[in-house]
Amino acid sequence: MKQTFTILLLLNMLLISCKKEGVVSTPLASLNIVNAVTGGTDVKLRGVPSYTFLNNGFSFLSVLPGKQDLYIYPVTDSLRPYYHGNNQVVMDAGQSYSLFLGGTPDAVSSLLVHETYTKQDNNIRVRFLNLSPGGPAINVTLASSPAVNEFLNIGYKQISEFKAFTKSGTDPTYNFEVRNAVTNEIIATFTLYPYIVTGFNKVTLVLGGILGGSPEPGLTFVLHN
């Protein structure tokens, strides 16, 4: 099968082009694929059959710039892809992108984000993405200050801006509480420790699962380079 794009596993492969005057590196784009499909399975990317993307997990790839024929499918059914870009997705050299897959296996939702990161410093930067199908909009508080909304009214398939949280102090641990924006009921919780994001300093917490159903709501953390 002819492939219209080339995927290289980050840290494992390097694409180079040779010219008479020497070796010249080819600028690449960075892609972070996040498999957060509720009740879904592990997936594969056409063109990289030896690599599996875990459900409720993420992986970084490097791709050639330009149009991308991304075809992501469940390991058990290559004919029913979770995502097919159909050469409509264009990625630029030197840029970073995140592709979030959510919803359910029968109704997969996708969100492609062109990342614009701030300069790394000593803070942890956190954002939230609501991929809980059929669920309400959410607010996010800290267990230490439940009356204060750190993130407000994030609807389905909506993503917040990054917010900085300090690493300083004797115990810079953050216990996040995801709440129903209407009833204020706690839907899910997540404890973020600084060591989780060491070397990255940016994390997206993705809400998946089904409120009042199975699997129950939970959070997947995604690191960004």
pLDDT value for 22: 59
* Terminal-to-terminal C-alpha distance of the chain: 32
Of the residues 116, 133, 155, the one at which a domain ends: 116
- H-run or E-run covering 57: strand 57-63
Residue 2 has pLDDT above 50, yes or no: no
| Same-domain pairing of 167 and 208 | yes
pLDDT value for 19: 47
> Please, which pLDDT band fits residue 18 given cuts at 50, 70 and 90?
very low
Of the residues 65, 99, 116, the one at which a domain ends: 116
| Same-domain pairing of 103 and 2 | yes
What CATH code is carried by the domain that includes residue 150?
2.60.40
Of the residues 68, 93, 116, the one at which a domain ends: 116
Domain that holds residue 85: 1-116
| Same-domain pairing of 63 and 82 | yes
Domain count for the chain: 2
Q: What is the pLDDT of residues 60-112, one digit of tens each?
A: 999 999 999 999 999 999 999 999 998 889 999 999 999 999 999 999 999 99
Is residue 153 helix, strand or coil? strand
Across 13-17, 131-135, 185-189, least confident range: 13-17
Contact 181, 195 (CB under 8 A): no
Sheet holding 43-45, edge to edge: 48-53, 43-45, 71-74, 83-84
Is the bond preceding residue 27 a cis peptide, omega within 30 degrees? no
| Same-domain pairing of 176 and 162 | yes
| Same-domain pairing of 23 and 91 | yes
Given the DSSP bridges, would you call strands 202-208 and 123-130 parallel, antiparallel or unpaired? Answer: parallel
Chain-centroid distance, C-alpha 22: 37
| Same-domain pairing of 94 and 152 | no
